Structure 1
Amino acid sequence: MSEPTLRLKGVHTNIAQYHILQGVDFDVPAGGVTMLLGRNGVGKTTTLRTIMGLWRARAGTILFEDRDITGLATSAIARAGIGYVPEDMGIFSDLTVEENMTLAAIGGPLDPDRLDWLFSAFPPLKTFWKKEAGNLSGGQKQMLSIARAMAEKRKLYLIDEPTKGFAPAIVATLAGALRELKNQGASILLVEQNFSVARALGDSCAVMDDGKIVWSGAMAALAGDHALQEKLMGLSVETA
């Protein structure tokens, strides 16, 4: 394993009166894909939102490249080099695809070579470049959401359930783009319910239950141990 690009130490997060994260500890190694897995409602989305500063950690430390980002504003965390794809996509429906992408390029104009790569990964974005994003299909909106995070090279990408509810062809397109991003050397923390995608993309893995990390290790180790899958998540990666 490489040195961690992101490290969570004893992170607690409350939402209203609810204690959601209860001492989360795990690392995201640099240059690979870390899967954050677990049943619904165990705190995976809260973990990503806490890293991005959208929800504040009540206790604990979040280190990004050995820099404490726990108390930073979301805008400062983004400028530090972290891209975020929320589960709800978060696109601007009344803006065009082009305008959505332009807003995502915080460093200046969109790089033409980067844009060509995104068009090759997500062809519908080029087709509907001048169209309002609200007119896209669900799968096309997800492509736009992911492409916005990739508009500039980031040091770390946080991606929340990108393939949820989509047809196999869309899943294959999204997984292919994430694989290419991985091949470019990006670090990715990926929440994913499609375990065949998790097995194909993941290098390392952390499994959550009830607001805590209950297991971490190599994705291949989890994928090859059906009894462990049943114990941790109640289903088999092999047969999911």
Structure 2
Amino acid sequence: MSDPILRLEGIHTDIAQYHILHGVDLEVPRGAVTMLLGRNGVGKTTTLRTVIGHWQARAGRILFDGAEITGAKTPDRARMGIGYVPEDMGIFSDLTVEENMTLAAATGPLDPARRDRIFEAFPPLRTFWRSPAGTLSGGQKQMLTIARAMAEERRLYLIDEPTKGLAPAIVSTMAGALRDLKRQGASILLVEQNFAVAKALGDYAAVMDDGRIVWAGEMQELATDAGLQERLMGLSMEAQ
């Protein structure tokens, strides 16, 4: 990987008195989907939040498109072209879908062409454009969460468990939207527990355990090697 869009070098992150990341080394290839996998509680969400700047790394370096951003504030990282989709959605329930999208387009009005691409990816958002976001179903709220990150051009998307708890039809819609993002040239770092989704979407994978990356390589290699899955994650994920 000669020119990754994101590189983490020896990242250590603490939350209160807890040492969560223990020297994370990770490279995210440009224009591809990289799956960040592992059991619950091993540091995947903390890794994403450290990249976007919600938590500051205590040691190590973060390089985005060749520039060090380790000490940068979250708004500055967003302006550089990093979008973050949290697991807890983070939408404004009392505002309409349109108002949520308007707030997400921080540099100016939402571009109509971009809005139409979002409608193509997530048709329910067109239907409920003027409705309060709090009235949406769980799957529709997750669509809005991802759409908010798409409100402006992003070079890197950090997405935390977008399909968790969703019906298969909604999962399929999500997967299609993420494929479209990749076709448009975006790079994606995606935390996902659904191995079928990871296998279908991922170009590369990195597996975490105890706050470290313990394996990294092509998703196809992990997806076709049940023994490797069991060794890294304690179970054959082909059964998932």
- Normalised TM-score (structure 1): 0.98
Alpha carbons 1:2, 1:30 under 8 Å: kept: no
Partner of 1:38: 38
Instruction: Give the stretch that moved more between structures: 218-227 or 107-116.
Output: 107-116
Structure 1 residues 104-128: Cα deviation after superposition (integer angstroms, max 9, x where no partner): 1122111111111110111110111
Structure 1 residues 76-128: Cα deviation after superposition (integer angstroms, max 9, x where no partner): 00001000000000001111100000011122111111111110111110111
- Pair 110,201 (structure 1): closer, same or farther in 2 beyond 3 Å: same
Amino acid in structure 2 at the alignment position of 1:110: L
Task: Could you list the structure 1 runs, at least 4 aligned residues long, displaced by more than 3 angstroms after superposition.
Answer: none
Alpha carbons 1:8, 1:27 under 8 Å: kept: yes
Alpha carbons 1:199, 1:237 under 8 Å: kept: no
Amino acid in structure 2 at the alignment position of 1:163: T
> Displacement of 1:235 after TM fit?
2.3
Structure 1 residues 204-229: Cα deviation after superposition (integer angstroms, max 9, x where no partner): 11100000000000001101111000
**Residue 4 of structure 1 aligns to a residue in which SS?**
coil
Q: Distance in 1 between matches of 2:185 and 2:201?
A: 13
Q: Distance in 1 between matches of 2:235 and 2:196?
A: 12
- Written as runs of structure 1 = structure 2, the 5 A alignment for 1:1-240 is 1=1, 3-240=3-240
- Normalised TM-score (structure 2): 0.98
**Residue 216 of structure 2 aligns to a residue in which SS?**
strand
Amino acid in structure 2 at the alignment position of 1:20: I
Amino acid in structure 2 at the alignment position of 1:138: G
**Residue 162 of structure 1 aligns to a residue in which SS?**
coil
Q: Distance in 2 between matches of 1:234 and 1:20?
A: 20
Structure 1 residues 21-55: Cα deviation after superposition (integer angstroms, max 9, x where no partner): 00000100100001000000000000000001100
> Displacement of 1:2 after TM fit?
5.5
Amino acid in structure 2 at the alignment position of 1:94: D
Q: Distance in 2 between matches of 1:187 and 1:198?
A: 15
User: Percent of aligned positions with the same letter in both sequences?
Assistant: 75
How many matched pairs?
240
RMSD: 0.8
Q: Distance in 1 between matches of 2:20 and 2:156?
A: 24
